[in-house]
Amino acid sequence: MNQCPVHNSTQAPLFPELQDSVTHTGGELSISLLVIDDEPRARQSLCDLLRPMGHRMTQAGSVAEAIKWLQLDNFTLALVDLNLPDGSGQDIMRYIQDHEILTRLIVISGETTFDQATEALRNGACDFLRKPYHPRSLLETVNKELDRARTHHRYQRIQDELKGSETLHRFIVNNSPDMIYMLDDQGRFSFINQRVRSLLGYSEKNLIGQHYSSVVFSDDVEKAQFVFNERRTGDRASKGIELRLQNRHNKEIRFVEARAISVELTAMGVYTAHNSAQDAEFIGTYGVIRDITERKRSEALMHYHQYHDHLTGLPNRALFHDRLKMALAQARRSKGQLAVLYLDIDRFRMINDNLGHLAGDNILQRITQRLKTNLREEDTLARVGGDEFLLLLPNIVKAEDAALIAQKIIASGSVPMLYQEQELRLTFSIGIATYPDHASSKDDLIRYADLAKCHIKQNGRNSYDYYQTRFKHLQPPALELENSLHRALKNNELELYYQPQIDLIEQRVVGLEALIRWNHPEKGLLSPGEFIPLAEQSSLICDLGEWVLERACEDGRNLEECGLTGLKIAINTSMQQLDRLCFQQQVLEAIARHGLSLNRLEIEITENSIMQDMQRAVDVLTALAKKGISIAIDDFGTGYSSLSYLQTLPISTLKIDRSFISNLSEFHSGTPIVTAILNMADALKLNCVAEGVETSEQKNILRQAGCRIIQGYHYCKPQSMVQLMRYLKQAKSGILNHEDQLRSL
């Protein structure tokens, strides 16, 4: 009976093509004999002689009776008398032949004419015994036929098994998610599995006999030779080689990673089987091709995010620095000139304050488009702050060329921009520094362009100027702010806000991120973006960090005293803090002073800052982690592209950057990156927190992708301590007015 190996026989088989692949033809042949003779005594004597062999026996006295039995049972052997009351034994033999019954036949008859014997043989008899027979010759004849039957049965079983295993292997190969191929010694396809249809749009038939280069993307043909001509076997064979192939129809480039078999996937040489390796003859290459297009896309997208501003799509500061470095090297070699322009939109803050951030973002995008129309392809425009841009003009003939561009930009600002029926006119302050006239290092060029811009800002804005040595004494507004930040620390103008982190499975608040605010006496509430980058340029960030640590621990204690227990508090930390020898001690002392347990504190640090001094980061963070303090990587995905550091550091949490989350929607490309990060975190056994979740659509996509903890305006904006207490108490008593009713803490 045929059986499906993968499914219960009462259900439809999952893979019908596999139904016949594993046939159970049973073990040894079970033998049964049919004795046909009209004389009861003759039948009985035959049975008596054969009984010691131990086989099942059935008797029939006529043609009709014999046929009835043949219909009911599968006999191995029939002993047939020719003279029967209702016909001849030949009739039975013909019946057996016509119905393709496998029963073997021995004729036992008193009739011994030559004609009858030949007719019997023609009708399928295997042997002919004349009555009266000698018992020994009967037994010999029967045994010989039974041996043949057994041999045939074994042969049949092997055939069935071979057929089954070939179907099974073909099924496995054809349903592999990877393309499996074999090339002959000339590099032509001699085998390819069905995956080629969906991957490259060819049928197997189309490709057999074709050279491998017909599917390789033209730029990669040279590289492909190394894999597709692989002659090595075992560990030395090619593994993980990346190539691009071409789809037959849309010519879309697909990235593939060709790897070898031997459990890991590879490309390897195939040789004829010989006793010695020297005699073996190379017959081709075997390999597996895995489609990694999606992975490549995610990587490219991640790379793009690391070097671009997500609002305008312009290069960010890091990419600008790279481009400037290259342009400087080129200018040095060719004894050329270049210019760096620092642009600032005058009073942009007023647009944000009066029209809101959405309007601000929209206007920034439109300004970007306008600025680009004034530039050449080789120029680099980067967004480096809220309303600040850097522009690199790499190939200027004379320093005055930069002024022409600055004039064009200022002129473009005077063309009114319509926003919700309001006409906006924008002005720019632009500082210019050139190589080699003003400076020869990239940092100086940027700094001097900034100082020239400050000069314009302090002298009426809406203009441009070149850097002059006298500007060196100018104080960029940053410096002004720095002085007042010092005061703020002393005058208690700083405040910690907290943003809850929600566990989507347990539906409760599990953590709080401490976010600093500055209640500026004149400017109002300032967000960290307006002063942290500045504080980071000096040791002020350490004083500020110390204050945050102390306040967060104190607030943690207060929460516990109010019965709001078990919440982890995350504090943002800068690399400069980690650089201080006393940092570890400061953290441990602050925790102890306020009687918190060590696992209540989480240190957040961005990828970028870790990379400033990896070894130091490893040392300090490992020491803290050993004490039970958890470490989170903040803004994950926007920083360093090599991920190997994740295994070196004692990290417990990855915080997926907001820019990836804001791109999350059913129709947007953001999902693969987030999924890739979640998969990676899962593999490394790290927690993941999604930052900046603003909509329930984003939350649902994240939940489906397996993200457990989220943080964002969708649940709660950062709150002052007073507001937070109220929020947490409501959450605790289950009266939060929210689509996802949070459970108690």
Interface contacts to ligand C2E, rule CB under 6 A: 499, 515-516, 527-529, 532, 545, 548, 572-574, 604, 634-635, 658, 691-694, 711-713, 718
Residue 548 interacts, among Mg ion, ligand C2E, none and using kind-specific CB cut-offs from 5 to 8 Å, with ligand C2E
Q: Which is nearer to Mg ion, 379 or 635 (CB)?
A: 635
Residue 601 interacts, among ligand C2E, Mg ion, none and using kind-specific CB cut-offs from 5 to 8 Å, with none
Residue 516 interacts, among Mg ion, ligand C2E, none and using kind-specific CB cut-offs from 5 to 8 Å, with ligand C2E
3-state secondary structure 504-547: CCCCEEEEEEEEEEEEECCCEEECHHHCHHHHCCCCHHHHHHHH
| CB of 691 vs ligand C2E, minimal distance in Å | 6
Q: Which is nearer to Mg ion, 338 or 587 (CB)?
A: 587
Q: Which is nearer to ligand C2E, 119 or 543 (CB)?
A: 543
CB 709 within 8 A of CB 688: yes
Residues that bind Mg ion (CB under 5 A): 572, 604, 634-635, 691
Distance, in Å, from the CA atom of 396 to the CA atom of 678, rounded to the nearest integer, reads 46
Distance, in Å, from the CA atom of 566 to the CA atom of 716, rounded to the nearest integer, reads 19
Which secondary-structure segment (H or E) carries 269? Answer: strand 266-271
| CB of 532 vs ligand C2E, minimal distance in Å | 5
Residue 37 interacts, among Mg ion, ligand C2E, none and using kind-specific CB cut-offs from 5 to 8 Å, with none
Q: Which is nearer to Mg ion, 291 or 604 (CB)?
A: 604
Distance, in Å, from the CA atom of 652 to the CA atom of 570, rounded to the nearest integer, reads 12
Question: In a 3-state reduction of DSSP, which class is residue 21?
Answer: coil
| CB of 499 vs ligand C2E, minimal distance in Å | 6
Q: Which is nearer to ligand C2E, 311 or 618 (CB)?
A: 311
Residue with tokens 């600002």: 413
| CB of 502 vs ligand C2E, minimal distance in Å | 12
Residue with tokens 């009713």: 741
Q: Which is nearer to ligand C2E, 27 or 524 (CB)?
A: 524
| CB of 572 vs Mg ion, minimal distance in Å | 4
Residue 387 interacts, among ligand C2E, Mg ion, none and using kind-specific CB cut-offs from 5 to 8 Å, with none
Residue 406 interacts, among Mg ion, ligand C2E, none and using kind-specific CB cut-offs from 5 to 8 Å, with none
| CB of 538 vs Mg ion, minimal distance in Å | 21
| CB of 515 vs ligand C2E, minimal distance in Å | 4
| CB of 717 vs ligand C2E, minimal distance in Å | 7
CB 409 within 8 A of CB 343: yes
Q: Give strand pairing partners of 36.
A: 60, 80
Residue 713 interacts, among ligand C2E, Mg ion, none and using kind-specific CB cut-offs from 5 to 8 Å, with ligand C2E
| CB of 697 vs ligand C2E, minimal distance in Å | 13
Buried/exposed code over 211-236 (b: 16+ C-beta within 10 A; e: otherwise): ebeebbbeebeeebeebbebeebeee
Residue 380 interacts, among Mg ion, ligand C2E, none and using kind-specific CB cut-offs from 5 to 8 Å, with none
Q: Which is nearer to ligand C2E, 402 or 548 (CB)?
A: 548
CB 89 within 8 A of CB 83: yes
For β-strands 508-520 and 494-503, DSSP reports them as: antiparallel
Residue 246 interacts, among ligand C2E, Mg ion, none and using kind-specific CB cut-offs from 5 to 8 Å, with none
DSSP designation for 596: -
| CB of 303 vs Mg ion, minimal distance in Å | 19
Distance, in Å, from the CA atom of 691 to the CA atom of 699, rounded to the nearest integer, reads 11
Residue 670 interacts, among Mg ion, ligand C2E, none and using kind-specific CB cut-offs from 5 to 8 Å, with none
| CB of 680 vs Mg ion, minimal distance in Å | 17
Cβ within 8 Å of residue 116, ≥6 positions away: 82, 90, 109
Q: Which is nearer to ligand C2E, 184 or 536 (CB)?
A: 536
Q: Which is nearer to ligand C2E, 409 or 502 (CB)?
A: 502
Q: Which is nearer to ligand C2E, 371 or 605 (CB)?
A: 605
Residue 269 interacts, among ligand C2E, Mg ion, none and using kind-specific CB cut-offs from 5 to 8 Å, with none
The two structure tokens encoding residue 127: 């042997």
Amino acid at 327: A
Q: Give strand pairing partners of 77.
A: 33, 104
**What does the CA dihedral 721, 727, 730, 732 come to, rounded to 10 degrees?**
-80
Buried/exposed code over 486-502 (b: 16+ C-beta within 10 A; e: otherwise): eebbeeebbebbbbbbb
| CB of 693 vs ligand C2E, minimal distance in Å | 6
Q: Which is nearer to ligand C2E, 121 or 478 (CB)?
A: 478
Residue 499 interacts, among ligand C2E, Mg ion, none and using kind-specific CB cut-offs from 5 to 8 Å, with ligand C2E
| CB of 662 vs ligand C2E, minimal distance in Å | 7
Distance, in Å, from the CA atom of 254 to the CA atom of 715, rounded to the nearest integer, reads 40
Residue 527 interacts, among ligand C2E, Mg ion, none and using kind-specific CB cut-offs from 5 to 8 Å, with ligand C2E
CA atoms within a 13 Å half-sphere pointing along the CA-CB vector of 253: 10
The two structure tokens encoding residue 12: 């439809």
Q: Which is nearer to Mg ion, 243 or 690 (CB)?
A: 690
Residue 81 interacts, among ligand C2E, Mg ion, none and using kind-specific CB cut-offs from 5 to 8 Å, with none
Q: Which is nearer to Mg ion, 61 or 545 (CB)?
A: 545
| CB of 547 vs Mg ion, minimal distance in Å | 16
Q: Which is nearer to ligand C2E, 75 or 518 (CB)?
A: 518
The two structure tokens encoding residue 320: 């600008």
DSSP string of 117-172, one letter each residue: HHHHHHTT-SEEEESSPPHHHHHHHHHHHHHHHHHHHHHHHHHHHHHHHHHHHHHH
| CB of 412 vs Mg ion, minimal distance in Å | 34
CB 76 within 8 A of CB 29: yes
Q: Which is nearer to ligand C2E, 199 or 569 (CB)?
A: 569
Buried/exposed code over 600-630 (b: 16+ C-beta within 10 A; e: otherwise): bbbbbbbbebbeeeeeebeebbeebbeeebb
Instruction: Give φ, ψ of 562 to 5 degrees.
Output: -90, 10
Residue 600 interacts, among Mg ion, ligand C2E, none and using kind-specific CB cut-offs from 5 to 8 Å, with none
Instruction: Give φ, ψ of 5 to 5 degrees.
Output: -75, -20
Residue 692 interacts, among ligand C2E, Mg ion, none and using kind-specific CB cut-offs from 5 to 8 Å, with ligand C2E
| CB of 635 vs Mg ion, minimal distance in Å | 4
Residue with tokens 């895995």: 290
Q: Which is nearer to ligand C2E, 405 or 541 (CB)?
A: 541
Cβ within 8 Å of residue 408, ≥6 positions away: 374
